[in-house]
Structure 1
Amino acid sequence: MGIVGHLTKEQLLGQKARTVTTILAMAVAATLTLATLIGIYSARHSMYQKNIQSTGGMQFAISQLDRQTAKAIGKDSAIAQSVVYQRQGTVDIKEPGVAKTMASPLLTLPKAAMQRLVKPVVLAGRLPKQPNEAILAQDLVTKQNRIGQIIQSRQQGKNIQLKIVGSYRGYAGLLPPDGVLTLGTVTGSKGYTVAAAFKDYSNFYGKLQALTTQYQVHSRQLAINDLALERAGESRDVKLRVMFALLVAVILGVIGFVSLALIYTSINLSVRSQTQRYGLLRSIGATPKQLRRLVYSQAAMLAFPAFLIGIGMGIGGLAVAFHILNQRFMVQGNTFRLFLVIDWWPIFLGAIFMFLVTLVAAWRPAHRAASVSPIAAVQMLPESVKISRRSRRPSPIERLFRSPTAKLAYKQYRRLGWSKLTMIATLSLSLMIFIGLTGFFRSVLTLNNETFTQQADVTIASTAAVDAIPWTFEPSKDAGIKQATVTGTKQMQLAHAPKAFGDKVNVIVVSNRLFQTAFQNQPTVLTSSQLVVNSKTGQREQRWQLPRDFSGTLQLINRRGEKQFTYPIRVVTKTTAAFGKWQFGDQSGLVLSRDRYLKLLKALAINDRELDYSIQTRLTQAKFHDSVAKILRKMVPQGALNDQIANRAQESSFGLAIQVMVYGFLTLLTLVSLANIVNHIFANLLQRRRSLAMLQSVGMTPRQITSMIGLENGFLFGTSLVIGSILGTGLTWLLYRVANTGIAFNYRVPWQEILIAGGMLMLIWAVFTGVSHQILKHQDLDQLIRLS
């Protein structure tokens, strides 16, 4: 350790209180930096893990390989795990209403591949346990090809029979969307597919390019879990990657701004408190360059333990937050989990960032220390403050105060000069960031397009002929279904309709009994509404999909060549909110019974009898959603299921996770800013101890001086709160105007955030006032007054 190192060590040990305070200030900044970087990386990795489950942990699959190539790829040094399956034949699937048959690939999967690739995407039924059992892609399931049925197939040139035991989501993984899968062993030399994953997902597409080039694989042979890789940051879209990098840069820029102010204040106060020491070092031969090195060395030596503390606090805080969130996810039945990933690059980037911020913060104090003249330092008296004429004149506000202590406090507040402006600016900006961003994110995280209709809990949708739709579906309440509604929809042409209708209308078909019970056998135009935000006025409006006051005749038409068939029908209009007992969701259109719809088809000479239909259910209790989903899947094997209860639980969990991360970041950012303010205020108090001791010597009690200081800080905090609230409200409005698309969210004045900010300032004011009183009670007046 050289001379500079010894001097730095002595200087830091000589002022232990100031050293500890500076380390803690730097540690708060380091905690914010590391918690942000590790939190972003962990969140992206967690989303990757969630989405990679659909492919059993496999990132990609390469098909149409020979046995030797498939084996070589699986054993490649870049591959961490792999499974192999083989196409061994075809299955002829007869589609409803289509004369030709479709040859679907018959894939044979060993047990390991079946567990990895198929189990995560099973839709109904179970996995095959025997070679004569099969599981079909969802699109292949029909009345003729459903669970329990036998299908004919050809496997390696032989005719075999397979029993259907389940179905899988064909578009959710790396398997073909039209495949028939069976359990068995791979044999022969052709038709192999290898599904694999690299040891890590960094530079995924670069590694994949090298692998495909090495084994001469064409791009059409590839299937990739793009969604999982996008969540991990390995997107093919360069714009997305650039936008993410810019987002991280902006976040680090904000952190750097507040951290720079905090660390600069701490180092500057340390340098100012040892001005005479630097002057004496100059008098015995120290050069300005050596003094600058001394300050830089002091800053770096303080930054090292602060960074270690920041690592511990950042990782520890994230671990606690992730644990609490994961417990919440488990209670809600959500399979999403947050994984805390501690990699080298966030820590390395955080170390470089903190080092640069510390050097920049120490630059001005270092030059100030180097510019001290030896003679001026030895003879230096407390700095006299230049007071302007305007500050010496009594202000109108000052005349309102009756108490001498209050008058003195306000005079001192007006005469603080640049230090007052610096503190007000710093605190106002901190409050602006907290109020503006927190108010905006609270609006975004509670975003919803509000409707006036209640959504169904579990819905399944499909397409079938009118006669094949289960109109008489009557579920048992024992199954947990409170109400069920079956509706079919078909779009038809209109002639001479009001402008609001356009030239088409959705015909909503319901059962005869429901049409009689709910609509009294009256053709009804059903209309729903949404609360949307007018992009011009910023006000919420209730917007109807169809006019709610229409009553008259609609003419439905069908043009066939030169002929035109018309069907006039007299209607009334009602809102979906009036039919809350029945599940119509947000559907708008003309409601007809099944029989009336058949008459309509006959009158318009329409031969197409197919409808897009859905079974919408409302449950007695939310816990029955899984069992109801199984009932509906069994009824409509090829249908698309929408479990709104599960979706809401997942959205709630994701929303909670995002809220914790966003508010956690804003809270840490605010704490750093407030720590900077506290540092400023305490430094101001310590610099004024001599003048405060003089006030005590002429008869003012510690309580009166504490009241005076409390009023000064009250003026400071009050001014900053007013300015910060105005700026924060403006920032919220600006972000709202930029983000609002006309149907997003309503603007809200951030009163809640302003009240929280005011509460925080009152707490700091109370703590500081108490500490000031203790300092004033125990200070040595004689020593402070004689201090030169």
Structure 2
Amino acid sequence: MNIVNKLTLRHLKQNKRRTLVTIIGVIISVAMVTAVATLGFSFMELMRKQSISTNGEWHVQYRNVTKSQLKAIEADDATKTLVISNDRGYAPLEGGQNENKPYWYIKEYNAAGFKQFPIELLEGRLPKTNYEVVISEEIAKNAKVTYKIGETLTLDVGERVTRDDKNSGQPLSQNERLRTEDDTLNEEIIHKKPMDYTIVGVIKRPTWEPTWSPGYTALSYVDESLIGAAEKATATVVLNKVDSSIYKHAEELAKENNIESISYNNSLLRYYGVTNSDGLRNTLLSLSVIVMTVIIIGSVSLIYNAFAISVSERARHLGMLSSVGATKRQKQNSVFFEGMIIGLISIPIGIICGIAGIGITFMFINSMIQDVLGITEKLTLVVTPLSLLTACVVSIMTIFISTYLPARKASKISAIDAIRQTTDVKLSGKAVKTSKFVRKFFGIEAEIGLKNLKRNKRRYQATVFSLVISIVLFLSVSSFTTNMRKSVELSQDGLNYDIQVYMGTEDAQKVDRLTKSISALPNITEYNVVRELSLSSWIDEKDMAKELQESVEKDSSILKNGKYPYYIQIHALNEQSLRTYAESVGVSYEQLTNLDRMSAIVNDTVTFEDENAKKIIETQALHSEIGQKLDLIYTDWDTEKETKLPPVEIVALTDKRPMGIRSALVGGLNIIVSEQVFDQLTNDAMSKDIQSRLNLNSSDPLATQQAIEEMKERNVYVQNVFQNRQNSEQMIMLMSIFTYGFIALITLISIANIFNTISTSISLRKREFAMLKSVGMTPNGFNKMINYESIFYGIKSLLYGLPISIVVMYLIYRSMMSSFSYGFALPWMSILYVIVAVFIIVSLAMLYSSSKVKKENIIDALKQENI
């Protein structure tokens, strides 16, 4: 070790307080980077486990494959596990009490399938031969016949088809509800084949069985060796390695073996960071770059300030080294050596602190995310070599960047300037000149405070820079959270209910009876009744959606007399629901029930997925004004006769939709009216096209669903979207917990950074303050000067921080536009919080630091040459 490095070590030991502050700053920065990396990997692991527990573990699925194709898939190097499954078909359920579920649904898996898919065995065992079966517990609850383990079933298994299409139509799947017409079954089972099964166990109702499906699931075994050459099955593959190449590889494998149908488990693959959507990939990549850039800038600013202050304090020491022959390179290496020593101490401690901090956080929030969010899996600490390497590389880069500029500055310090300490404070009349209005409106204290800031320009700029970074970090992360929430809301548009009950009947009395019965069930927290009718309307070209106007420019033949045919979905809400909804959009209930005006609320914002652009778009569906009237046309598709209905008057244009009403597409509108207006618009001839739906929110959706099914009403179909909605809300909530936790961490680091910079700056100005007091500045005047300095700091930081933040927020918004399309909006509440917080933080830091200076003796302070 050379003499300069030895002197640097000695200097670090002698200035323990400054060294400790620098080390703590670097530890905090490294801990933040480590925490973010660990958090990202842990969060992705949690969502992977949750997706597997819900939908099973698989990556690629090939449908309708033959035995030879199965062999090719199994022999593929990328295949780790091959799941073979087969939809054997449907059979009549004897003793079934639920008229909407009159069938057995037989699905077959090989041994791997029972492991890879979430199948919960309640009693007995799983099938081992194709003559054994496990039945769903729901069958025992909804059938008069008691089925026991060990009992043998003889079932006529075949394909479901509608009666009109039994000769040429495609078989109906488990995702398609029971086909009825006028309360009469309009489907049958064909190609029946008698099958004997022995019941060997009972399973919980599978998560993949839709609530509206017509068959109760029973699982049997498929033996690959018994599959005939002409038979077809579904091959579901778990891959050895999951990366972006899986899509190309799967397509090549399918092409080589003439496999026509491929699908991917995108809900799981996205948590590996793998997607076949270029837009989504670009979105994730650009967001990652922006967030990591923000983190690195924040870390650099924190560490840079520590080293800049260190060099400022060591100016005399470096000058003395220069006076005894130290070269520029030696002085520069002295700062780099200091950075290396601090890095060697701080990086390991910072990594440990970051991992420990995240681990402790997981311990506290695990119970919450399981109890409150209903997530079955636990957050586990995932520390990978990649996350540690990322933390180390980012930290080393950060320390190097942070020490580079101070090192260059140190190399240029001459012996005389350093000993006289003239480098930090350079005076000229122009440099400290202030406006006359400052003294006139704010007094001499404000002028002195402003001159102080200008005279100590480097320290002033360092503090402003810290504040600017804090503002940008906070608003960037806030914008990131807002945009992610918006994207999830758009992708799950309209899922604002737990259960939807479709009542396929024209009998108004039956609808009313069912509504009263279902809404009176326990656990119901909210409900509304919606009656719907499909209509159409001719909309002027100038009022059309922007996307339609672009289409019209290419082909004007789609217009008729300058108007475009919009499809209209008119919805009538029950009284209580309409009152609540009307109040939320600023309309009185009485307006909507006035039959003289025929008032309506129009949803003028629609969300749709553009297949060409491969993105989800939110746009304005109608450019209209309140008071404008819409002409409505009813078409009887049996006779193709059109009937013009009374026009409705628009009393509100809103993007808010009532519970259970999904967004229209471009070229369509949702219109909400009262039951009175709806009855005035319709007549008995239209009743066959009027649909009634009951939308419910429940504290226990599964119990509510079961209670409705136990009513055993014909033509009543239950759609339980609770799980999809829960997944969406879980994602939003988890994202909010982590991102706002990240905001809190950044805020604390920024506050520590600002306190450190301001307190060090004021500590170095003890002589200056003592001199002001010695010439007559009173304690009150001193306080005013400090307050004005705080205001100047705040104003200056906001003038730089807010525009930079808006640019970063817009970049985050633009990165989302690869997968989504919606209007850019500034988070005004977050901006307001930032403005208030900046002045509070600066004021507290200034008051804390100046309170220590006040206690100093004037004579002792004047004698001091450096701190």
Structure 1 partner of 2:219: 182
Structure 1 residue 714, shift from structure 2 partner: 2.4
Q: 1:672 to 1:91 in 2, by over 3 A?
A: closer
Q: 1:493 to 1:631 in 2, by over 3 A?
A: farther
Q: 1:274 to 1:107 in 2, by over 3 A?
A: same
The AA in structure 2 aligned to 1:784 is Q
> Does the 8 A contact of 1:278 with 1:369 survive in 2?
yes
Counterpart Cα distance in 1 of 2:190 and 2:719: 32
> Does the 8 A contact of 1:525 with 1:591 survive in 2?
no
1:719 aligns with 2:732: no
Match of 2:733 among 656, 681, 686: 656
Structure 2 partner of 1:327: 367
Match of 1:289 among 306, 319, 329: 329
The AA in structure 2 aligned to 1:655 is I
Structure 1 partner of 2:109: 109
Counterpart Cα distance in 1 of 2:290 and 2:539: 55
Counterpart Cα distance in 2 of 1:378 and 1:706: 30
Structure 1 residue 184, shift from structure 2 partner: 3.4
Q: Deviations over 1:519-551 (max 9, x none)?
A: 99x999784334869xxxxxx999899998869
Structure 2 partner of 1:318: 358
Structure 2 partner of 1:475: 517
Q: Deviations over 1:439-480 (max 9, x none)?
A: 78569858989xxx9976621348x67589964525262445
Structure 1 residue 332, shift from structure 2 partner: 3.1
1:427 aligns with 2:439: no
Secondary structure of 2:367's partner?
helix
Q: 1:744 to 1:455 in 2, by over 3 A?
A: farther
1:623 aligns with 2:664: no
Counterpart Cα distance in 2 of 1:37 and 1:425: 26
Structure 1 residue 302, shift from structure 2 partner: 0.8
Structure 2 partner of 1:605: none
> Does the 8 A contact of 2:318 with 2:410 survive in 1?
yes
1:363 aligns with 2:407: no
Structure 1 residue 281, shift from structure 2 partner: 4.0
Structure 1 partner of 2:138: 125
Structure 2 partner of 1:229: 269
Unaligned runs of 5+ in 1: 95-103, 512-517, 534-539, 602-608
Counterpart Cα distance in 2 of 1:486 and 1:704: 68
Counterpart Cα distance in 2 of 1:659 and 1:741: 22
> Does the 8 A contact of 1:170 with 1:177 survive in 2?
no
Q: 1:165 to 1:318 in 2, by over 3 A?
A: closer
Q: 1:124 to 1:218 in 2, by over 3 A?
A: farther
The AA in structure 1 aligned to 2:410 is A
> Does the 8 A contact of 2:373 with 2:730 survive in 1?
no
The AA in structure 1 aligned to 2:795 is T
Match of 1:757 among 838, 842, 851: 838
Structure 1 partner of 2:34: 34
Secondary structure of 1:397's partner?
helix
The AA in structure 1 aligned to 2:792 is L
Q: 1:310 to 1:641 in 2, by over 3 A?
A: farther
Structure 2 partner of 1:537: none
Counterpart Cα distance in 1 of 2:425 and 2:538: 87
Question: Aligned ranges for residues 66-465 of structure 1 at < 5 Å?
Answer: 82=81, 84-85=83-84, 87=86, 107-109=107-109, 113-114=113-114, 116-117=116-117, 119=119, 125=138, 132=153, 138-139=174-175, 142=178, 159-160=195-196, 182-184=219-221, 186=223, 188-190=225-227, 195-198=236-239, 201-202=242-243, 205=246, 220=260, 222-282=262-322, 286-335=326-375, 338-373=379-414, 385-389=426-430, 391=432, 395-399=436-440, 408-409=448-449, 411-428=451-468, 430-431=470-471, 434=474, 438=478, 445=485, 458-461=499-502
Counterpart Cα distance in 2 of 1:552 and 1:282: 88
**Which shows bigger deviation, 246-255 or 632-641?**
632-641
Q: 1:582 to 1:428 in 2, by over 3 A?
A: closer
Counterpart Cα distance in 2 of 1:236 and 1:552: 44
Counterpart Cα distance in 2 of 1:633 and 1:523: 42
Q: 1:227 to 1:165 in 2, by over 3 A?
A: closer
Counterpart Cα distance in 1 of 2:41 and 2:776: 60
Counterpart Cα distance in 2 of 1:225 and 1:413: 59
> Does the 8 A contact of 1:292 with 1:367 survive in 2?
yes
The AA in structure 2 aligned to 1:629 is Q
Question: Aligned ranges for residues 357-756 of structure 1 at < 5 Å?
Answer: 357-373=398-414, 385-389=426-430, 391=432, 395-399=436-440, 408-409=448-449, 411-428=451-468, 430-431=470-471, 434=474, 438=478, 445=485, 458-461=499-502, 471=511, 472-473=513-514, 474-475=516-517, 477-480=520-523, 485=529, 487=531, 489-490=533-534, 502=565, 506=569, 527-530=600-603, 556=635, 565=641, 588=672, 591=678, 596-597=683-684, 599-600=685-686, 613-618=691-696, 622-632=698-708, 641-643=718-720, 651-694=728-771, 707=783, 710-711=786-787, 713-720=789-796, 723=799, 727=803, 748=828, 750-756=831-837
Q: 1:260 to 1:629 in 2, by over 3 A?
A: same
Q: 1:234 to 1:726 in 2, by over 3 A?
A: closer
Q: 1:21 to 1:133 in 2, by over 3 A?
A: farther
Counterpart Cα distance in 2 of 1:705 and 1:341: 56
Secondary structure of 1:188's partner?
helix
The AA in structure 2 aligned to 1:142 is L
> Does the 8 A contact of 2:601 with 2:651 survive in 1?
yes
Unaligned runs of 5+ in 2: 94-103, 122-134, 141-146, 161-172, 541-559, 575-589, 607-618, 663-669
Q: 1:183 to 1:760 in 2, by over 3 A?
A: same
Q: 1:263 to 1:395 in 2, by over 3 A?
A: same
Structure 1 residue 745, shift from structure 2 partner: 6.6
Secondary structure of 1:615's partner?
strand
The aligned length equals 733
Q: 1:236 to 1:557 in 2, by over 3 A?
A: closer
Counterpart Cα distance in 1 of 2:65 and 2:498: 45
Q: 1:706 to 1:633 in 2, by over 3 A?
A: farther
Structure 2 partner of 1:45: 45
The AA in structure 2 aligned to 1:658 is M
The AA in structure 2 aligned to 1:770 is S
Counterpart Cα distance in 2 of 1:781 and 1:759: 29
Counterpart Cα distance in 2 of 1:92 and 1:207: 39
Structure 2 partner of 1:784: 864
Structure 1 residue 225, shift from structure 2 partner: 0.8
Q: Deviations over 1:244-293 (max 9, x none)?
A: 22222222222232332332222222233333443444555544333333
**Which shows bigger deviation, 259-268 or 380-389?**
380-389
Secondary structure of 1:125's partner?
helix
**Which shows bigger deviation, 733-742 or 348-357?**
733-742
> Does the 8 A contact of 1:500 with 1:546 survive in 2?
no
Structure 1 residue 233, shift from structure 2 partner: 0.9
Counterpart Cα distance in 2 of 1:495 and 1:400: 59
> Does the 8 A contact of 1:436 with 1:732 survive in 2?
yes
Identity of aligned residues (%): 15
Counterpart Cα distance in 1 of 2:728 and 2:87: 42
> Does the 8 A contact of 1:28 with 1:672 survive in 2?
yes
Counterpart Cα distance in 2 of 1:187 and 1:382: 83
